[in-house]
């Protein structure tokens, strides 16, 4: 696959081969899946995706922030092949194998948790958060949990009860698991307290302190506060440092555990190994998935060793910590430490600067925010009223697909850029050029932005 001239679109989209796959999918696959556009992948290399008709795309979605080291990085593939040739499965809940122990030891050395750390292994982010819910309640002997509006923590019943991103994700599955309360997140562009970012001291937490913990639940009944250091599906929202500092102080003053959901923001995406590090947040638990194994299924709940003190049989997972996934994770972490975290910071900074330049020319852009290669662009119909340009955002996503750039939405009217961390400066230039063109087309089409 030649990656020298990317993107390169040579057929109508979808092409004939893609259309044939999509037609079969419509008959046999669950209709609950959300597909933003008709991409049928054949293979990938780095930040480039080839579809089944030979069209080449530049990938700024990374399988929803999963393929941190790029598509099929040779060192990750080699680690997978090496382990697969030894054994594929032995269930780490009933037996021992070195890759799982090695990975647990490595996780203990990199997570921003003070003191000794233990890890529980599952298969996904939602499983990691399910384990955190159970462990928080088991350790604290308290029944209640607090999460934030706009949050996404998974779709299984426990984690879905924490999730407050889109109503469709909860509709028809109620009632949710009991004992969860939600508070406003620090969306500084649309401050819940009506303040300006430069004068905000995380006053949005006043609702949690003065309303939730006064009128709905007493602090001594709360097991944990579950928070995304940077909110993902809610719109790639970057809170001020004070938000996490005040939240941590509040939790500690009442003996409440802090669970940092780093499923999307972790593993180098923000230019640090974990997004917590940008805010000096030291949680009691960190949940990890997505980028941890470069595309293989793996979820991890890391916790203070004194918190993860439940007995044998309390919680387990047959496939959790699969040896092949563990091998991929160890190769991924090595690549992150050897340069990909630094690249995420540098190329991400370049993209952020370029996007702010685009905002000066495109009134449809209301806000640009992010850390590293976790970047959100919010679209508005009017910068004064901040009326959400949701339809225009969706049209931009579609327009970019036709031009060969893969992106996804986030929140009601934001676009997320979450490319593989191997994205180069040259590729970032292409991203900015295509965004410039696509936004211009949509502004003309809708007459939007002022």
Type and span of the H or E element at 408: strand 408-410
Joined together, the tokens standing for residue 62 give 């990374």
What is the predicted pLDDT for the residue at 314? 93
Inter-CA distances, 88 with 37, 103, 327, 412, Å: 34, 16, 11, 41
Report whether pLDDT(342) > 90.
Answer: yes
Instruction: Judge if 288 and 428 occupy the same domain.
Output: no
What is the predicted pLDDT for the residue at 3? 54
Instruction: Judge if 299 and 393 occupy the same domain.
Output: no
pLDDT average, residue stretch 153-174: 88
Pick 130 or 450 by higher pLDDT: 130
Residue 6 lies in a domain: no
Instruction: Judge if 281 and 368 occupy the same domain.
Output: no
Instruction: Judge if 286 and 358 occupy the same domain.
Output: no
Joined together, the tokens standing for residue 165 give 């991103």
Residue 274 lies in a domain: yes
pLDDT band for 188, please (50, 70, 90 cuts): confident
What is the predicted pLDDT for the residue at 286? 98
Tell me what percent of the chain is helix, strand and coil, each rounded to the nearest 5. 40, 20, 40
Q: Is 230 helix (H, G, I), strand (E, B) or coil?
A: coil
177 DSSP assignment = P
Report whether pLDDT(1) > 60.
Answer: no
Instruction: Judge if 223 and 115 occupy the same domain.
Output: yes
CATH code, domain carrying 237:
3.40.640.10
Joined together, the tokens standing for residue 331 give 């190769």
Single pTM value for the model: 0.95
Q: Which of 292, 321, 350 is the last residue of a domain?
A: 321
Instruction: Judge if 354 and 287 occupy the same domain.
Output: no
Type and span of the H or E element at 79: helix 74-84
Ramachandran sector of residue 120 (left: φ over 0; alpha: ψ -120 to 50; beta: rest): beta
313 CB contacts (<8 Å, ≥6 apart)?
none
What is the predicted pLDDT for the residue at 420? 98
Over pLDDT 70: what percentage of the chain?
Answer: 98
Please tell me the distance from the alpha carbon of residue 432 to that of residue 295, in angstroms, as a whole number. Answer: 26
Domain count, the chain: 2
Please tell me the distance from the alpha carbon of residue 179 to that of residue 133, in angstroms, as a whole number. Answer: 11
The beta strands (E) that lie in 133-275 are given as 144-148, 180-183, 222-227, 257-261
271-280 core/surface letters (b: 16 or more CB in 10 A; e: else) = bbbbbbebbe
What is the predicted pLDDT for the residue at 176? 86
Q: Which of 321, 356, 381 is the last residue of a domain?
A: 321
394 CB contacts (<8 Å, ≥6 apart)?
409
What is the predicted pLDDT for the residue at 139? 98
Residue 441 lies in a domain: yes
Pick 156 or 196 by higher pLDDT: 156
* Alpha-carbon torsion (295, 290, 39, 75), positive or negative: negative
Instruction: Judge if 95 and 226 occupy the same domain.
Output: yes
Residue 294 lies in a domain: yes
Residue 160 lies in a domain: yes
Instruction: Judge if 350 and 313 occupy the same domain.
Output: no
Q: Is 268 helix (H, G, I), strand (E, B) or coil?
A: coil
Instruction: Judge if 376 and 231 occupy the same domain.
Output: no
Instruction: Judge if 65 and 37 occupy the same domain.
Output: yes
Residue 245 lies in a domain: yes
Quote the domain boundaries for residue 172.
89-321
Residue 1 lies in a domain: no
Report whether pLDDT(158) > 70.
Answer: yes
CATH code, domain carrying 376:
3.90.1150.10
Q: Which of 321, 353, 384 is the last residue of a domain?
A: 321
Using a 10 angstrom Cβ sphere, with 0-12 exposed, 13-18 middle and 19 or more buried, the burial of residue 179 is: middle
Report whether pLDDT(26) > 90.
Answer: yes
What is the predicted pLDDT for the residue at 4? 62
Instruction: Judge if 25 and 126 occupy the same domain.
Output: no
What is the predicted pLDDT for the residue at 2? 53
Residue 8 lies in a domain: no
Report whether pLDDT(193) > 80.
Answer: no
Instruction: Judge if 255 and 296 occupy the same domain.
Output: yes
């Amino acid at each position: 696959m030649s990656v020298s001239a990317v993107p390169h679109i040579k057929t109508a989209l979808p092409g004939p081969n893609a259309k044939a796959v999509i037609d079969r999918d419509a008959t046999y696959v669950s209709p609950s899946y959300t597909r933003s556009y008709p991409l049928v992948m054949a293979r990938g290399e780095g930040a480039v995706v080839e579809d089944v008709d030979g069209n080449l795309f530049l990938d700024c979605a990374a399988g929803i922030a999963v393929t941190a080291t790029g598509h099929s990085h040779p060192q990750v593939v080699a680690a997978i092949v090496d382990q697969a040739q030894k054994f594929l499965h032995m269930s780490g809940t009933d037996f021992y194998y070195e890759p799982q122990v090695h990975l647990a030891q490595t996780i203990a050395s990199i997570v921003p948790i003070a003191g000794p750390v233990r890890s529980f292994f599952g298969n996904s982010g939602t499983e990691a958060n399910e384990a955190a819910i159970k462990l928080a309640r088991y350790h604290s002997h308290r029944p209640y949990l607090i999460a934030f509006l706009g949050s996404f923590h998974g779709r299984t019943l426990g984690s879905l009860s924490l999730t407050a991103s889109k109503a469709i994700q909860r509709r028809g599955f109620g009632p949710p698991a009991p004992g969860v309360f939600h508070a406003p997140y620090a969306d500084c562009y649309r401050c819940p307290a009506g303040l300006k970012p430069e004068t905000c001291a995380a006053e949005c937490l006043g609702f949690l302190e003065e309303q939730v913990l006064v009128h709905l639940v007493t602090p001594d009944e709360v097991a944990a506060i579950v928070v995304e250091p940077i909110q993902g599906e809610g719109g790639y929202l970057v809170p001020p440092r004070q938000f996490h500092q005040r939240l941590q102080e509040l939790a500690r003053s009442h003996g409440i555990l802090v669970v940092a959901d780093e499923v999307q923001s972790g593993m180098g995406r923000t230019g640090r190994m974990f997004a917590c590090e940008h805010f000096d947040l030291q949680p009691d638990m960190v949940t990890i998935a997505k980028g941890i194994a470069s595309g293989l299924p793996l979820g991890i709940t890391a916790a203070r060793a004194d918190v993860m003190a439940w007995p044998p049989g309390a919680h387990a997972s047959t496939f959790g910590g699969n040896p092949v996934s563990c091998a991929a994770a160890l190769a991924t972490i090595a690549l992150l430490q050897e340069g990909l975290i630094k690249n995420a910071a540098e190329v991400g900074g370049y993209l952020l600067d370029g996007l702010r330049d685009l905002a000066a020319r495109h009134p449809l852009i209301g806000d640009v925010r992010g850390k590293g290669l976790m970047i959100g662009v919010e679209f508005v119909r009017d910068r004064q009223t901040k009326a959400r340009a949701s339809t225009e955002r969706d049209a931009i996503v579609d327009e970019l697909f036709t031009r060969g750039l893969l992106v996804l939405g986030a929140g009601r009217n934001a676009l997320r850029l979450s490319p593989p961390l191997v994205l180069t400066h040259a590729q970032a230039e292409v991203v900015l050029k295509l965004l410039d063109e696509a936004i211009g087309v949509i502004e003309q089409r809708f007459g939007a932005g002022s």
